[in-house]
Structure 1
Amino acid sequence: MGAMLRFKKETGKEVTEITTDNFSDLCTYLYCCVASASAADKVPFDMPLMDFADALSAEDMENWAKAMQAGAAKNGEAEKKR
């Protein structure tokens, strides 16, 4: 949940507004996910967004986007079974 709130604070948008062709939003959301996971695990994460983006490769983003889509599809199937 923290990642969604961080994304809203960073961009002014809801995560439901992210589209797969908007690299900036995807990168920002990934950053927010890492920041929230780090906070939850009490692991320091003080990397600014731009440094985070500079450290990512296109392959990193593609793999993460595919994993997110697969997770969303899996969740959709689970909802249909309920």
Structure 2
Amino acid sequence: MNKGISYITVGCRELPCRLTMGAMLLYKRNMQKDVSQMSGGDIEELLMFMWCCVKCACKADGVDFETDFETFCCQITPDDLNVWNEAMAQSGEDKKK
């Protein structure tokens, strides 16, 4: 059972997107700070975190994902970001139960 796996649409592709240790490490390497220090109002930080979650979930699942960060951002809409934020918040609530 793959608990915690969700998918988002990037461009015209449905891709896995979930929080992994790899995503947190990739975020830290790119932003030079931990996810726990992320500012919720900083759009670049949110998009970087989203990109890291997609990139690492794809890598773990063997899904081809060679999209760089800037191209990824060009393919994401504000609605996509809102849906992702809601899914992440729901996932966090589910883990508290």
By the TM > 0.5 criterion, same fold? yes
Query: RMSD in angstroms over aligned alpha carbons?
Result: 1.1
> Which runs of at least 4 in structure 1 moved beyond 2 Å after TM superposition?
73-76
Give aligned-pair identity as a percent.
29
CA distance in 2, matches of 1:41, 1:29: 18
Q: Is contact 1:18–1:25 with CA below 8 Å preserved after alignment?
A: yes
CA distance in 2, matches of 1:74, 1:19: 23
Q: Which has the larger radius of gyration?
A: 1
The aligned counterpart of 1:47 is 67
What's the TM-score, normalizing by structure 2? 0.73
- Residue identity in the other structure for 2:65: F
The aligned counterpart of 2:39 is 19
Gaps of 5+ in 2: 1-20
Gaps of 5+ in 1: none
| Structure with the larger RCO, 1 or 2 (CA within 8 Å, 6+ apart) | 2
More strand per residue: 1 or 2?
Answer: 2
